[in-house]
Amino acid sequence: MSEQIQISDRGDGVAVLTLDRPERKNALSIALRDEISDALAELASQDGVKVVILTGAGSVFCAGFDLGEFGRIGEREFADRIWASSDRFHRALIEFPLPTIAAVNGPAMGGGCDLALMCDLRIASEAASFSHPEAAFGTVAYGLLHDLIGGSLARELTLTGRAVDAKEAETRGLAVRVVTADALQDEALDLARSIAKRPRDVLLSDKQKIIRRSRHLIRGTLDL
């Protein structure tokens, strides 16, 4: 049984995957990344699923990779586990064969920002923000960001680490809409159900076009 995610079937072809590690701000540990990768593989195999919403428990969408684990990056075997888990996680998201929506309930930081970017659409709470505060040592999913908001702003955000609040995210096209915290889940479900009205085979075909474009933008899943 999963310990760090929750999955719910909301009917009409919509599944919700919730990162459930609020005490750690849903930080992406090896275990959490692997659970997400496993869950996405299972959801992709279910004929009744058409759209998946990803969100976070608590007040933070995702604080990025677990920095406690990065303290062991000098250990060769542990470092290999981190990078293998990361590679699989990124591939599971980018190559997921059906539409994904990030319901960004709060700050999306570092790898959490990349998680939101790797989803097809983003709907944001007024409390949401997008940032890479670890710019001093981390990297940004530049190709995906550039494709979403254009080169000028993508370069600024990549080079400065500046946070984008929900209002600016909507204005710049990073979020399709911004809603109150109380309305986020209902609005995300409405958006998902509007997509799920289409035939699954058509969604699969359209998503393949999106995947091909994403692959063109990156050289590898660790070089987004």
**Residue 137 burial class via C-beta count within 10 angstroms: exposed 0-12, middle 13-18, buried 19 and up:** exposed
Cα-Cα end-to-end distance for the chain: 31
Q: Label the pairing between strands 164-165 and 129-131.
A: antiparallel
Active site residues: 134
Q: 74 CB contacts (<8 Å, ≥6 apart)?
A: none
Q: 205 by DSSP, 3-state: which?
A: helix
Instruction: Give kind and range of the element (H or E) at residue 103.
Output: strand 100-104
